Chains A and B, each alone.
Chain A
Amino acid sequence: DQQVKQNSPSLSVQEGRISILNCDYTNSMFDYFLWYKKYPAEGPTFLISISSIKDKNEDGRFTVFLNKSAKHLSLHIVPSQPGDSAVYFCAAGGSNYKLTFGKGTLLTVNP
C-alpha cells in the first residue's frame, strides 16, 4: 500500500519554464512533507519542506504547495535550469521520526 505516490515517473521541460512535480498521500497522520533531489550515483539531498500547518513554503526558485484537504502537494521550480535535472523524491513524516518516500520523478530540463 503506497502511502506516498508520485504518479509521474518523468517530466521534461524547457530551460526557463516552470517545472511542477506532484505528490499525493493517503495517510492523514503525516504532519510534515519534504522534497529531496537525487543525482545519479549520489545520495538524496534535502531541497525544501513544509509543515502541515502551512500551505506554502518558498526558498528561492523552489516553492512547495500543500493542499491538505486533497492530500496533495506540489513542488514548483521557476525558472527551471539544466542543473535541476535529477530525480525528485517526495517524502512524508509523522510523529514516529520515520519518513515515507514516493518512487520519485525524473525531471529533465532541456537547454
Chain B
Amino acid sequence: NAGVTQTPKFRILKIGQSMTLQCTQDMNHNYMYWYRQDPGMGLKLIYYSVGAGITDKGEVPNGYNVSRSTTEDFPLRLELAAPSQTSVYFCASSRQGGDTDTQYFGPGTRLTVL
C-alpha cells in the first residue's frame, strides 16, 4: 500500500526556472493538500483540493499553481522559482474534511532555489 507518493525527493533550481512537484495517492481520497515547511516553522497550506476539478488557495499560494484532473494526482507547479521558495514541500490527502479529517502525508520534496 503506497499511500501518498511524491517525486522528486530532492531538487536544486536556479532562480527563474520552473518545475512541477508530483503527488499521487492510491487511497481514493477526495481531499488533497500541498504544504510547505520552512526551517523551525510549522506546515503552511499552499493549495488544496476537495475533488477532481476543484482547487482553492491556502495560506501561502503566491508563486504556485495547482491542477486536479484526476482523483489520484495533485501536481504543484512553480513557474518562476525564487530563493524564498526554498523549503520542504509535503503533499497530503484525506478521505473527507471535518473532524474525521486525518490527513496522510507523503515523504516530502526538499527544494533549494539558488
What is the chain B residue whose CB lies nearest that of A96? Answer: B97
Are A103 and B105 closer than 8 Å at their CB atoms?
no
Interface size on A, residues (CB 8 A): 26
**Contact flags B46-72 to A (C-beta < 8 A → 1, else 0):** 001010000000110000000000000
Are A98 and B42 closer than 8 Å at their CB atoms?
no
Assembled-state Cα–Cα distance A32/B96 (Å): 14
Are A32 and B107 closer than 8 Å at their CB atoms?
no
Assembled-state Cα–Cα distance A98/B33 (Å): 9
Are B99 and A99 closer than 8 Å at their CB atoms?
no
Cβ-defined partner of A97 (8 Å) among B48, B59, B107 = B48
User: Which chain A positions have C-beta within 8 A of B44?
Assistant: 101
With known contacts A49-B102, A97-B98, A102–B107 Cβ distance under 8 A:
no
State whether the Cβ of B4 lies closer than 8 Å to any Cβ in chain A.
yes
With known contacts A97-B50, A98-B58, A43–B90 Cβ distance under 8 A:
yes
Q: List 25 A-B contacts (CB under 8 A).
A: A4-B42, A6-B42, A32-B99, A32-B101, A41-B107, A41-B108, A42-B108, A43-B4, A43-B107, A43-B108, A44-B43, A45-B105, A46-B102, A46-B103, A49-B102, A51-B99, A89-B43, A93-B99, A93-B101, A97-B31, A101-B42, A101-B44, A102-B42, A103-B42, A104-B42
The 8 A-B residue pairs with the shortest CB-CB distance in the complex, in nearest-first order: A43-B105, A97-B97, A101-B42, A32-B99, A101-B43, A103-B42, A46-B102, A44-B105
* Inter-chain pairs besides A36-B105, A101-B35, A101-B43, 15 sampled, C-beta below 8 Å: A9-B40, A32-B101, A43-B92, A43-B107, A44-B43, A51-B99, A89-B42, A97-B31, A97-B48, A97-B97, A97-B101, A98-B45, A98-B48, A98-B59, A99-B103
